[in-house]
Amino acid sequence: MIVIDPSQREDLLDLLSDLQHDLGKYLRLPLSLLPRDADCAAVRAALETALLRTRRGPGGTRNAQEIWEAFLQEAGGRFCGFAAFAVLEGAVSRALGWRRALEGDALLDRASVEADLGAVATAIRAILEEVESAR
């Protein structure tokens, strides 16, 4: 088990909470709003929104890659000792990898897209729990 200072733990939890909101939530949202029988064009448009216009706010629109990179920069390597961080990195990499599918006109497997995008939120929850339990 990792031992961290309580004030540092609160900083890490704040970073992860922001990531959960800005990336975990907004990656899944566009696809979750589609009806189950949405056509391929609608799924593609939702994936494009999820990855390229992930978070809109008063400061403008940020894409998933920008949100992830800003998190890594602010974290400054402080999560590297947590086992769940490697899982999070893998989940984000898979989710961001769907951007390549937007470059062509290949059919998208909605279930696979949803699973990969949803895995980011699950991985963030796992590292949140790991940081919370660190004393």
- What are the domain boundaries of the chain? 6-133
pLDDT at 6 over 90: no
User: Per residue in 26-80, pLDDT tens?
Assistant: 999 999 999 999 999 999 999 999 999 999 989 899 999 999 999 999 999 999 9
124: left (phi over 0), alpha (psi -120 to 50) or beta: alpha
Contact at 8 Å (CB) between 53 and 61? yes
How much is the pTM?
0.93
pLDDT at 106: 82
| Max Cα–Cα distance, the chain, nearest Å | 50
